[in-house]
Amino acid sequence: MIRPNFGESKYNLRPSSVSLFYPGGNETFKSHEEAVQAAREIGHRLVMEYMHEAELDEGEITIDVNRKDVQVHGVGIPMETRFTFLGVGDIKMGEKDIRK
C-alpha cells in the first residue's frame, strides 16, 4: 500500500513524502512514482521467492498485477494505492512432474 505523507498544515495539500508499506517492512520515498516502482519490484520479488521455494523456475511462473488508486478531487496524487500480486505456476511448462 502506498500513502502520501502531508506536512503539519491542514491547508498544505502537497505531500512531504510518500510511504510504501509491504509485508516485512515499509519505506519512504520523495515521489509517488518512485514508490510505485519500488512496490512493483518488491511485489515481484516476494512472489518469485515464494515460487522458488515451491521449486518452480521463472519460466513456469506468471505474475498478474492489479492496481487500485483512491483519488480525491483536488489532490494531484492518489490518497492511497494498493497492489495485488498473483503468482500462478504452470507445472506443465517445465519438465518436472510433481505427481511422482
Is the pTM value of this prediction over 0.85? Answer: no
The one-digit pLDDT tens for each residue of the chain (100 residues) are 999 988 776 666 678 899 999 999 999 999 999 999 999 999 999 999 999 888 888 888 899 999 999 998 766 789 999 999 999 988 764 455 554 4
Per-domain boundaries in the chain:
2-89
29: closest CA among 40, 13, 14, 16? Answer: 16
φ, ψ for residue 46, nearest 5 deg? -60, -45
Indicate the burial class of 53 (C-beta count within 10 angstroms; 0-12, 13-18, 19 or more): exposed
- Alpha carbon distance, N-terminus to C-terminus of the chain: 40
